[in-house]
Amino acid sequence: MANTIEVIVPVNDNIQYTQKKTVVQVVDEVGLQAAETEFLNGALAGTVVASKAAVYDAAGKTYHSSASPAAAGNSVANATAMTAQYNTVTGADGTKGVLLPIAAADEIVTVVNTDATNALKVYAITGSQINALGSTVAYSVTPGQTATFVGRSSTLWYTAAATDTITGLTASAAELNFNDTALVGTAVASKTAVLGANKNLDTLSIDPAGFKSDGVVVSPIKWVDVTVTAALLDAAGTAPVIAGVAGDQYKIRDVILVGGGTNYGAGGDRLISLTDGTTVWTTIANADIETAPAASLRLGDVKVPFLTGTSDTASASAAAIRFQYSGGTVDHGGVGSIKFAVCLEKVA
């Protein structure tokens, strides 16, 4: 018999039999109307079919309409119209947008802004609105985020705030990105400075013109310890104090010849100068390096003399400051070591 199915009919707890019935008989017995059974006709497992029953697939899922429209235009009049329930939108540039369908109560449309940099404009059709924005006013979906729009009436869509917003947050994405790749205790160019466990930063470069205390410009000061050996200076060598960097200039504010060094080798006739190749700030005589002072001596001592006209002279831009031999012609045979402490003020 056409369109029949076998059903099990129980007689009692121990007896039952199989009976063939038509589909119409079974439907009638369970109380379904013919129009209701039509919802099953054409339904597909796991795929939503318009005006048909939704049937989950073997994995317990159903699939809704989806599309990947490209944003366009700059207003409700020329934005790309969306027709699917799920929309992964491309091409957002902060101006281009997409258009929601005509609103209906409980209708849901999901919009994903696939652009990681720019906001996406979402419009309701003219005469409708999103939240309380007003007709033709766009809702912005932030870069890389998702917004779900829920219809509440034929003229109103609701959506929640973007998922990357925080109550009370006023910082922009660009401002928050100053924290991206910042390192604890290490200064990173154009990033937030994060102090280390000991409230330290490894290196911090400050523009002298911008470092102020009570409105007064305060120049950065640093002390550099330098061990000046004959082995470094012989054969036209140098003992570096600070390397030359483009635009940097320093003034020498103090020099200490640290007592207790090792005498330079006898027989040489060299002097030691502190210089940048243009200015000489002090020169130590040959006799005072071949007999190293036992006590520490400051700049201005007869053995660490001020030189006329150089005490307030800045180094040449980008010039390295160093100790090197000056005067005489005979080196000291690699013998001898004297330590200096040099105070530098960064003035540019």
Helix (H, G, I), strand (E, B) or coil at 286: helix
Give the CA count within 13 Å in the CB-facing half-sphere of 102.
Answer: 1
pLDDT tens-place string over residues 48-80: 777 888 887 787 777 778 999 999 999 999 999
- The string of pLDDT tens digits covering residues 119-153 is 999 999 999 999 999 999 999 999 999 999 999 99
Q: What is the pLDDT of residues 209-232, one digit of tens each?
A: 666 667 776 678 899 999 999 999
Tell me what the mean pLDDT of segment 28-36 comes to.
70
The Cβ of residue 299 has, within 10 Å, a number of other Cβ atoms equal to: 21
Strands 120-123, 80-81: pairing kind:
unpaired
| Average pLDDT, rounded, for the chain | 88
Over 80: is that where the pLDDT of 21 sits?
Answer: no
- Report the C-alpha gap between 348 and 332 in whole angstroms: 36
In angstroms, the Cα distances linking 143 to 10, 150, 320 are 63, 21, 48
Paired strand residues for 140: 121
What pTM, to 2 d.p., does this model score?
A: 0.46
Written as one string, the DSSP assignment of 179-225 is GTT-BBTB--TTS--B--TTS--S-----GGG-EETTEE---EEEEE
Q: Decide if pLDDT at 328 tops 50.
A: yes
Inform me whether the pLDDT recorded for 92 exceeds 70: yes
The H or E element containing residue 253 is: strand 250-262
| pLDDT per position as a tens digit, 10-20 | 777 777 767 77
Q: Residue 257's pLDDT is what?
A: 96
What are phi and psi for residue 81, nearest 5 degrees?
-75, 135
Determine the Cα–Cα distance for residues 125 and 19; give it in Å rounded to an integer.
57
pLDDT at residue number 1: 47
Of residues 164, 160, 140, the one with CA closest to residue 148: 160
Predicted confidence (pLDDT) at residue 2 exceeds the cutoff of 60: no
Tokens of 41: 């006709």
DSSP code string of 102-157: ---TT-EEEEEE--SSS-EEEEPPTT-EETTS-TTPPEEEPTT-EEEEEEEETTEE
pLDDT at 26 (0 to 100) = 66
- State the DSSP string of 55-106: B--TTS--B--EE-PBPB-SSTTTSEEP-SSEEEEB---SS-EEE-----TT
